[in-house]
Structure 1
Amino acid sequence: MRVVAKFGGTSLGSGDRINRAADSIAAAVEAGHEIVVVASAMGNTTDELLDEIEFDADEADRAEIVSMGERTSVRMLKAALSARGVDAAFLEPGGEDWPVVTDSRGEVDAETTRQRAHDLADTLDEQVPVVTGFLAEDGEGNVTTLGRGGSDTTAVMLGSYVDADEVVIVTDVEGVMTGDPHVVEGARNVAEITVDELRNLSFRGAEVVAPSALSYKDDDLGVRVVHYQHGDLLTGGTSVTGQFDHLIDMRESPLACLTVAGRAIRNRPGILSELSNALADSDINIDAVASGMDSITFYVDEDVSERAENILHQEVIDAGSLSSVTVDDDVAVIRVTGGELPNQSGIISEIVQPVANAHIDVHDLITSATSVAIFVDWTDRERALKIIQEKFQQ
């Protein structure tokens, strides 16, 4: 089996932990597996180096400085592997075999990186490469970086490009947990999670796998998260399944847009719950919710809009601090989902602007970490759908 094993800063935070990492790599090699190692900077080295730059350094100098953390890690790991009789070599920007290249915009040059990764893969039956995570080099050989979480990106990208069977992210948690074990009691490990679920959690604060890394995962590449104390690269932890695909979906039936306005929206705890529960108690499903400073909008099936209006109107009367409820019928929704959305600067504008240029009014826009929902008049739905589809077929 071919495995890319990425060791996070915490898992390399001391000599003892480096020994643990080397033991797990050596055991996998002894079992006959081909291993690529990606190493983060030891502990909090990168942050500490950045904190010490109290002068006006340009990007090139900053990249060189912060690269010292990863450069130290790969040397430590290579030495620990050599002490165990494993033929290993460290790879860093500027080296002859360095794989990760960025273009003039600072983004990964996929074609060049893929070719270099293929060359690297040809050596895996002879040697274990220990690669600096987070770092890259540009076309002139200058050190560049892949941004926050870049070591995860290095690992999953290389996993894809060297045709690995699995990428193992070694970190300081048991995998993906049901909650933060430092905050909630009884948090337990999740055996399996989809890329969509994990990416949404990552964009909302879960520090497990960097969101930028997951866009390189496909159905054929396994990704697993394990604790550094586990000691086995090939078992345990949380498996991440699936891949990101752009999906453009238009709801087949019209929605009604019900807006409740009033000062209670911003100063009364639980008001959203009260209004939502009132609809739920009458078996009315809410397709989407949007909120403003003094209003909440519910999108429901148009065929239940009259009943929903009466229910919400009663809530307005009972609350006293709510002003009114209004209804707008014949609303269509088109949803765009995909793992690449958060990585594309200006993507919201690129989706919405062509629709506006066609003189189609956008009633509402609701976004999440990996999706965009666009609400337009029901009569404009086919034109809007075609415009959005054309954007992603380019």
Structure 2
Amino acid sequence: MGIIVAKFGGTSVGNGERIKKAAQSVVNEYMKGKKVVVVVSAINKTTDEFLKIVDTAMGKSITDKQLAEVVSMGEMTSVRIFSSTIESLGVKSEYVDPYADAWPVITDNNFLSAKINFEVTEDKSSKIKEMIDEGIIPVVCGYLGKNESGNITTLGRGGSDITAFLLGHCLKAEEVIIVTDVDGVMSTDPNKLLSAKKLDKISVEEMRDLATHGAQVLHPHALKYKDPKIDAKIIGYEKGDLSTPGTEIIGPSNNELLKCATINNEPISVIAVVGEEILTKSGILSKITDTLAKHKINIYGISTGQNSITVFVNKSDSDRAHEVLHEVVVTTDDLSSLSLGREIAMITVASQDFIDTPGVIAEITEPLQKSKINIVEISSSQTSVVLFVDWDDGNKAYELVKGVLK
């Protein structure tokens, strides 16, 4: 039987009844012959309460080292209660906190947002494997790390999910199960739309983009550590069954951190549609995009201004796009004219790290500025930056951008 890593979030261990249900779900899988490693967050709201007390007592005079030690108490309490509950159900269990000899997660010296030393962590994880092979269920603190000096560190936002996926990789687990307060990933927030439906599957890339734009189910940081060879799913705690179907997380498409630059193979053309204050006129943008969609012309990007809308299409489609959009212009009172511009290249830079990298756009564009390469247009999201430059400058710009990522 393969190894299962089950991570229980703060809500799923929010009180004694939930902890017992969670522990029973682990024991049930163990009784089926499966090997289970548990990762536990702090009991619901525990960390928030600690932070309030610290703020009142000390304010900003607390050091990062002290704060890491204080907030670690939430997870260290959780693992002790959870492990003891498993033993009360008749199965041998041991809690693993940063003071234990079997502690696996080794980091640098950044106390509140530590980087993991993968090589050492993989080596240390062998002790967790030994416990499993002896029939013991390890209950490991999520969110926490330990530096080479033995001091407690924290992994920052999404830390417990990071721990789960990290251990899944190090232990070559069969599956990582994220147990939370929802039954899986929904098509939208069910608190806002009752018509929201649970998704059976979602890719890592989709989940990452969803999470960076506000979905609370899983933090995008954790997805960096998702091994494509390991199954993963998100389930709700209420059923108390780790085998229940939830939302399966597929991928990623490769085993590297998503940090790359790509350039389109064909030139792209710019079409600018102008009209007085068209940004304030409803329905103009939809007329343009609907017309291009009707003629099966793909749009690579859209830029809007007070008096203009610019669309980016394949050069091979540009003459046809120019023609059909001209019909929109001459039949719409709020539009006055359009132009078909020069050929440009599109360079896309993507990384999960962008969301937490201040100045990333400046870092990417600075070498282009120094090389006097004009940027025709730029767009960005929390995980990608798209640059449009003159076609003749495309390859040079691409090489410069790749240099930034090294």
Q: State TM-score, norm by structure 1.
A: 0.90
Indicate how the Cα distance of structure 1 residues 6 and 295 shifts in structure 2: closer, same or farther if over 3 A, else same.
farther
Aligned to 2:128: 120
- Looking at structure 1, the residues matched to 290 and 305 of structure 2 have their Cα atoms a distance apart, in angstroms, of 19
Aligned to 2:365: 352
Query: What per-residue deviation string (whole Å, max 9, x for no partner) do you get for residues 112-132 of structure 1?
Result: 222212332232122211111
Aligned to 1:147: 156
Query: What per-residue deviation string (whole Å, max 9, x for no partner) do you get for residues 268-297 of structure 1?
Result: 444432332233334332111234565432
Q: Report how far residue 224 of structure 1 moved.
A: 0.8
Aligned to 1:35: 36
- Looking at structure 2, the residues matched to 292 and 95 of structure 1 have their Cα atoms a distance apart, in angstroms, of 59
Identify the match of residue 193 of structure 1 among 189, 199, 202.
Answer: 202
- State yes or no: 1:103 paired with 2:104: no
8 Å Cα contact 1:195-1:242 kept in structure 2? yes
- Looking at structure 2, the residues matched to 124 and 292 of structure 1 have their Cα atoms a distance apart, in angstroms, of 60
8 Å Cα contact 1:212-1:343 kept in structure 2? no
Aligned to 1:3: 4
- Looking at structure 2, the residues matched to 294 and 128 of structure 1 have their Cα atoms a distance apart, in angstroms, of 64
8 Å Cα contact 1:180-1:187 kept in structure 2? yes
- State yes or no: 1:219 paired with 2:228: yes
Mapping of 1:313-324 within 5 angstroms?
315=328
Aligned length: 393
Mapping of 1:44-59 within 5 angstroms?
44-52=45-53, 53-54=55-56, 55-56=59-60, 57-59=62-64
- State yes or no: 1:305 paired with 2:318: yes
Identify the match of residue 70 of structure 1 among 68, 75, 91.
Answer: 75
Mapping of 1:277-316 within 5 angstroms?
277-292=290-305, 295-309=308-322, 311-312=324-325, 315=328
Indicate how the Cα distance of structure 1 residues 220 and 314 shifts in structure 2: closer, same or farther if over 3 A, else same.
same
Aligned to 2:65: 60
- Looking at structure 2, the residues matched to 64 and 274 of structure 1 have their Cα atoms a distance apart, in angstroms, of 58
Across the aligned residues of Structure 1 and Structure 2, the Cα RMSD in angstroms comes to 2.5
- Looking at structure 2, the residues matched to 195 and 36 of structure 1 have their Cα atoms a distance apart, in angstroms, of 23
Query: What per-residue deviation string (whole Å, max 9, x for no partner) do you get for residues 262-321 of structure 1?
Result: 564543444432332233334332111234565432101224434434554565566655
- Looking at structure 2, the residues matched to 177 and 356 of structure 1 have their Cα atoms a distance apart, in angstroms, of 43
Query: What per-residue deviation string (whole Å, max 9, x for no partner) do you get for residues 230-288 of structure 1?
Result: 32223411111111544543222211122345564543444432332233334332111
Aligned to 2:377: 364
- Looking at structure 2, the residues matched to 347 and 119 of structure 1 have their Cα atoms a distance apart, in angstroms, of 39
Indicate how the Cα distance of structure 1 residues 208 and 263 shifts in structure 2: closer, same or farther if over 3 A, else same.
farther
Q: Report how far residue 17 of structure 1 moved.
A: 0.6
Q: Report how far residue 2 of structure 1 moved.
A: 0.3
- State yes or no: 1:82 paired with 2:87: yes
8 Å Cα contact 2:184-2:234 kept in structure 1? yes
- Looking at structure 2, the residues matched to 77 and 355 of structure 1 have their Cα atoms a distance apart, in angstroms, of 54
8 Å Cα contact 1:265-1:294 kept in structure 2? yes
Indicate how the Cα distance of structure 1 residues 271 and 104 shifts in structure 2: closer, same or farther if over 3 A, else same.
farther
Q: Report how far residue 225 of structure 1 moved.
A: 0.6
Mapping of 1:125-204 within 5 angstroms?
125-126=133-134, 127-204=136-213
Letter in 2 for 1:85: G
Aligned to 1:254: 267
Q: Percent identical across equivalent pairs?
A: 38
Q: Report how far residue 5 of structure 1 moved.
A: 0.5
- Runs of at least 5 residues in structure 1 that lack an aligned partner in the other structure: none
Mapping of 1:240-251 within 5 angstroms?
240-243=249-252, 245-251=258-264
Q: Report how far residue 86 of structure 1 moved.
A: 1.6
Q: Report how far residue 337 of structure 1 moved.
A: 3.5
Secondary structure of 2:225's counterpart equals coil
Letter in 1 for 2:231: G
Query: What per-residue deviation string (whole Å, max 9, x for no partner) do you get for residues 89-130 of structure 1?
Result: 112223322222221343222222222123322321222111
- Looking at structure 1, the residues matched to 67 and 274 of structure 2 have their Cα atoms a distance apart, in angstroms, of 50
Indicate how the Cα distance of structure 1 residues 216 and 292 shifts in structure 2: closer, same or farther if over 3 A, else same.
farther
Secondary structure of 1:152's counterpart equals helix
Larger deviation, residues 51-60 vs 37-46 = 51-60
Indicate how the Cα distance of structure 1 residues 249 and 77 shifts in structure 2: closer, same or farther if over 3 A, else same.
same
8 Å Cα contact 1:289-1:297 kept in structure 2? yes
- Runs of at least 5 residues in structure 2 that lack an aligned partner in the other structure: none
- Looking at structure 2, the residues matched to 242 and 351 of structure 1 have their Cα atoms a distance apart, in angstroms, of 27
Aligned to 1:386: 399
Letter in 2 for 1:25: V
Q: Report how far residue 87 of structure 1 moved.
A: 1.3
Q: State TM-score, norm by structure 2.
A: 0.88
Q: Report how far residue 346 of structure 1 moved.
A: 5.0
Identify the match of residue 236 of structure 1 among 222, 225, 245.
Answer: 245
Identify the match of residue 387 of structure 2 among 374, 378, 382.
Answer: 374
Larger deviation, residues 33-42 vs 232-241 = 232-241
Query: What per-residue deviation string (whole Å, max 9, x for no partner) do you get for residues 327-368 of structure 1?
Result: 422111122335455465654444433333333222222223
- Looking at structure 2, the residues matched to 292 and 59 of structure 1 have their Cα atoms a distance apart, in angstroms, of 45
8 Å Cα contact 1:264-1:322 kept in structure 2? no
Larger deviation, residues 234-243 vs 2-11 = 234-243
8 Å Cα contact 1:199-1:369 kept in structure 2? no
Indicate how the Cα distance of structure 1 residues 277 and 64 shifts in structure 2: closer, same or farther if over 3 A, else same.
same
Larger deviation, residues 166-175 vs 307-316 = 307-316
- Looking at structure 2, the residues matched to 291 and 101 of structure 1 have their Cα atoms a distance apart, in angstroms, of 48
8 Å Cα contact 2:279-2:304 kept in structure 1? no
